[in-house]
Structure formats: C-alpha cells, structure tokens
Amino acid sequence: MNYSKKTLWILIMMVLLLGVTSIGQAQTIELRKYTNGLHTTSPRNIQVGNQVVWQYVVTNAGEKALHNISVTDNQGVLVTCPSDALGSGESMICQATGAAIEGLYQNSGTVTAADPDGNPVTATDSSFYTGVIGETSVDTDGDGINNDVDQCPDSNLNTTVVIAGCDSGVSNVLFDNGCTMADDIDQCAAGAKNHGKFVSCVAKLTNYWKKNKLISGKEKGSIQRCAAKSDIP
C-alpha cells in the first residue's frame, strides 16, 4: 500500500503522541516511613527499652490498581499491612513494633507491588531514632520529643486524623515541633467562633500540608469532609 508523504508524517506524529501519553501515565507507588509518628532526618531520643512504633504509609500514586503489595524492613523488623492491594489514589498504613536499643538506629522500609499488567513498582524510605540510657528530661506524651522543646507536650497521637468521631483515614503526622496534625486541628476548634470559622481554619491547614507534600489531594478532601460534617464548635 502506498502512502503520501503527508499521510506518513501524520502517522509518525500519532505514534509519537501516543508514546508520550503512555509515558505520562507511568504507574508509581509512594512510601513514607515514621518512627513513633515522626518523619525527620534529625533523630529524636527514645529511652532504651521503650516501645518503638514504625509506620509505613503506602500510597498508590498511579492511575491503575496495584496488587501483591508487600512492605519489608532492612533491619528484619516484621511489617504487617491491612491489605495487599490498593486502588488508584488509595493509601494504607502498615506497622511494625520493637524495643529501643542504645545509640543511633536507622531502618529503611521498602514497598513492592505490581500493576494489572504485571509491571513491578517499588519505593523506599528511612527514619531514625537515638536510644538513650538514663534520660532525665520529661516526655509526657511519649512522642520522642522532650517537654522542654515540645510545643504540644500532651499530643493527640491517634494513628489517623479523627474529627468529632469522623475518621479521615489520613495518617496523623507528628511534626518536628512536637505537634501532630490532630493537634493543629484541635487548635482550630479551640479558636473558632463558629462552625464556618473552624472549617475555614482546617481548609487553610490542609492546603498548606498539601502544598508541602505532607498529604495528597484526596487526603486533603477526606480531612475537609470530616471537618464539614462535624458539629464543631
């Protein structure tokens, strides 16, 4: 079959455009790891022998469902997950526990999965702590941040952000200043004169968190919906 130069050029351009589209739809998975609720490169002190809780927040950031999801830890810590599959945009929190040992401790989590076509995806993240003996400073809430530098010494350390009984399903991140996302939302509730002011305050917080890649757009929506449904204040 004979094609004109113009037709051939159109066919070539279609192939190139299709190729670019498929690249733009590459499947990805994300992993963010926390030690006692904290994700930081500046390790916090934990009393030797105290419990350490590691959380591995897995997010399907692609457009296809993922299956055969598995999370492992390079230090041999046993990690358990609530599921081995995630739909597009979905997240889950996997967890492991242990006892703090003396000195600087770092461990890395790795998540692996496959898309419906069998293509593998993976991601890795690390977190740290320093195990100390005879620590004299007080850490009332047990978040690994001593009261003398903790802006929220009695933190809300729920695993997820819960507003008036509505569980958003979003991981309740602990910030370097000792406050959690839930603490910040509680401060919105305490300072709001009416429900509209509370919802507006939560919207500003979640917009800031999304801008700084602490939460996804879907997670922002989940928190805002819980705020809107609540009867606060």
Same domain? 103 vs 177: no
Q: How far is CA 122 from the centre of its chain?
A: 16
Identity at 224, one-letter amino acid code: Q
Among the three residues 110, 136, 162, which one is the final residue of a domain in this structure? 136
Share of the chain above pLDDT 90, in %: 48
Flag whether pLDDT at 123 surpasses 70: yes
Tell me whether residue 22 is in a domain: no
Rounded CA gap, 164 and 166, in Å?
A: 6
The reported pLDDT for the residue numbered 39 is: 75
Same domain, 127 and 167: no
**Mean pLDDT to the nearest integer, 205-224:** 91
pLDDT (tens digit per residue) in 97-117: 999 999 999 999 999 999 998
Question: Where in the sequence is the domain holding 216, given as residue range(s)?
Answer: 141-233
What mean pLDDT do residues 74-90 have? 92
CATH number at residue 41: 2.60.40.1530
Phi-psi region of 184 (alpha: psi -120 to 50; beta: other; left: phi over 0): alpha
Residue that finishes a domain, picked among 117, 136, 155: 136
Cα→Cα distances 25→14, 18, 62, 118, 217, Å: 17, 11, 7, 16, 18
Are residues 166 and 125 part of one domain? no
**pLDDT at residue number 20:** 33
Query: Mean pLDDT of all residues in the chain?
Result: 84
Residues 132 and 147 in one domain: no
E strand spans, 12-80: 29-35, 45-47, 51-60, 67-73
126 and 195 together in one domain: no
In terms of domains, do 145 and 121 share one? no
Q: What is the pLDDT of residue 71?
A: 96
pTM: 0.58
Same domain, residue pair 34 and 118? yes
- The pLDDT assigned to 18 comes to 37
Q: Is the pLDDT of residue 219 over 50?
A: yes
Residue 2 counted as domain residue: no
List all residues 6 or more positions away from 231 whose beta carbon is below 8 Å from its beta carbon: 164, 195
Does the residue 104 lie in any domain? yes
